Chains A and B, each alone.
Chain A
Amino acid sequence: MRVDQRLIAEMIAPRARVLDVGSGDGTLIDYLYRTRSCDARGIEIDMQNVTQSVAHGLPVMHGDADHDLADYPDDTFDYVVLQRTLQAVERPREVLRQMLRIGRHAIVSFPNFGHWRLRLQLLTTGRMPMTPVWNTPWYSTPNIHPCTIRDFLLLCEEEGYVIQQWLAIDEDGARAPWRRSIRLANLFGEQAMFLLKRAGH
């Protein structure tokens, strides 16, 4: 399991109801079920991953964040997880709204477009940056909505979400030491992870 998935798992209370949106090969939900007795389910866009997950006995359905969250009733889950996918969905704001409608908490991770290497590349070369995290050229990237950590904070403020926890993580998913300063995290954090809840809860 990736280190950032372990960080996500640590945020989730035992026996919680969890929906992992973009569950991949099902590693996280399998872990949550086996070690935390969670009722963990998945939605996954890649059919091979879906088949593999179901073949491992995991409750995973073929679907995607943009189209399949609207069906669930309010408060179906305690946590709705979106790993490294927010930048690739059609309507990130709507996806977040749905996540925090059907779940009491949302856990969101995304690659930070504010990282210094990206800023420097754009400044010095005048071309779209390419890094180990942002590694597809502009014309074929699935990442159609990149944002920085500060952009995301602003959106949470606009939408009235309470940030219960945030952390910057490096490319391998390990926690980065920028936990006090958003400004530093936005410059040096390759990825960010947020635990959110609705205001007034």
Chain B
Amino acid sequence: MDISASPSIADGPVYTHQTVRLDSGLDLECGVHLAPLEVAYCTYGTLSPARDNAILVCHALTGDQYLAERNPLTGKPGWWSRMVGPGLPIDTDRYFVVCSNVLGGCMGTTGPRSICAETGKAWDSEFPPITMHDIVAAQAKLIDHLGIDRLFAVIGGSMGGMQALTWAADFPDRVFAAMPIATSPFHSAQNIAFNEVSRQAIFADPDWHDGHYRDFGAIPARGLGVARMMAHITYLSEEALSRKFGRRVRHDAATAVPASSSPSLFGEMFEVESYLRHQGSSFVRRFDANSYLTITRAMDYFDLAAEHDGDLANPFRKSQTRFCVVSFSSDWLFPTSQSRLLVRALNRAGANVSFVEIESDRGHDAFLLEEPDFDRTIRGFIAGAAEHAALKVGER
């Protein structure tokens, strides 16, 4: 396999991300005090004089803060550049949009690759366990630093949606509107199971070295690549895979079997195999295995109801936040049924909630793709919320 490609993230060029360093640090739920805390972030648009037009966008498991600009590591456009920008549904002509790398990440925010103040060495696999609440608390420190009291909106898909919900639960007075997209109020057994397979793939890599791979100048690229390949399947749908690849076999020079060779089991490669290998190999160049483990574990721990006496309505009682819950019909990783559970709980809490299931055959990843109904939903919800917040953000 070609996914053991050059370990570029371990010893590649060091990028300078826009970062705020907070020496006061952060008290984690596990009891560890993490200091200093660094949060890497990007902003777009202009903060209004009243500081009331800020939208926080929360990224998913393997996303980053490069929301709407070229990603310096991959050279690709920002992961939501089709949604965020001047005149786009999340309109940077009207709103001040913030996106930060999550705690535990590997794009500049404090995480396993950061230096532990006590040991003077990188945390690596000794990085303390974190939760969705810790991730959001770190973002809140950034929002404080930016001088923003109340966020006009918190928007996120997948794990970003978990953060949007956590924001609304932990800081009800600081979130005017929340848009949890393709997400769930708890991580399901099936999703924990997928994460576990991902993690076991990483642990099984001979280059894992109990998480201290960097000391050995290595990265567990095979394990991380397999983890990504498996996870990537869960982001799609059978229909999307069939439409994109079907049963087509690649017939190019690189994979062609020489005429002289004996018949082989793997002489040919299905296009879907080739695609997944590419996904695996490009991922290991940009993502750190310890970050992957840290963040997937934070997702696994996520269960808002369990933290509130088993009733998901509890964290949202008396909430004044306007919610818009969005799911996608073919998403089997975060199915509509889980969004509906959330909506029901919000209704029990008497919260103001809109709920749309977008018809799409592209699975979980649909929230990142061209879906006109989804664009209209985001644009409309934001405009409606702005009207209710009496925001002076230009014409509707």
Contact = CB atoms under 8 A, between A and B. Distances in A.
A and B bind: yes
Interface of A: 39, 41, 47, 50-51, 53-63, 68, 71-73, 76
B359 A47 contact: yes
Contacts of B247: none
8 contacts: A51-B377, A54-B354, A55-B373, A55-B379, A55-B380, A59-B352, A63-B343, A72-B348
B338 to A, nearest CB: 14
Dominant secondary structure of chain B at its interface with chain A: helix
Interface stretch (B26-34, B103-111, B382-390): B382-390
Given A54-B324, A55-B379, A72-B347, 10 more contacts: A50-B355, A51-B358, A51-B373, A54-B381, A56-B384, A59-B384, A61-B353, A63-B355, A71-B345, A71-B348
**Max count, chain B CB within 10 A of own CB: residue among A39, A41, A55, A73:** A55
Contacts of A59: 322, 352-354, 384
A185 B377 CA distance: 43
Contacts of B277: none
A76 B356 contact: no
Contact of B383 (A57, A61, A76): A57
B384 A57 contact: yes
Interface string B355-386: 11111000000000000010011011101110
A55 B377 contact: yes
Interface of B: 322, 324-325, 343-345, 347-348, 350, 352-359, 373, 376-377, 379-381, 383-385, 387
A59 B321 CA distance: 12
Contacts of B373: 51, 55
Contacts of B381: 54, 57
Contacts of A72: 347-348, 350
Given A41-B352, A47-B357, A57 B380 contact: yes
Contact of A71 (B344, B352, B383, B387): B344
B356 A57 contact: no
A154 B377 CA distance: 43
Given A61-B353, A62-B355, A56 B380 contact: yes
